Amino acid sequence: MDREKMKNKIKKLVKAEVEGIGVVEIILILLVLILLVVLFQDQITGIINSVFDSINDQIDTLGTS
């Protein structure tokens, strides 16, 4: 029985550590993503505008055909 109790305690400990680290990792990843978006806001906006312009041009060519 002692062996089973030890296994269960170790499993609970590992599970608790994994869940706690997961939250911290998610918060750090979100902070990094927000920082990247803020730093490269102009470039991102330019790329999105370029893509939508290209889509609109292709729609216009389909409409005139």
State pLDDT tens for residues 26-58: 889 999 999 999 999 999 999 999 999 999 999
Indicate the pLDDT class of residue 1, thresholds 50, 70 and 90. Answer: low
What is the C-alpha separation between 11 and 46, in angstroms, rounded?
50
Residues 44, 46, 49, 54, CA torsion sign: negative
Which range marks the domain in which residue 47 is found?
A: 2-64
Number of domains composing the chain: 1
* Terminal-residue alpha carbon distance, the chain: 79
Q: Cα separations (Å) of 46 from 23, 40, 49, 51, 52?
A: 33, 10, 5, 9, 10
Q: What is the pTM of this model?
A: 0.53
Contact in structure between 37 and 44 (CB atoms under 8 Å): yes
In the predicted structure, residue 18 carries a pLDDT above the cut 60: no
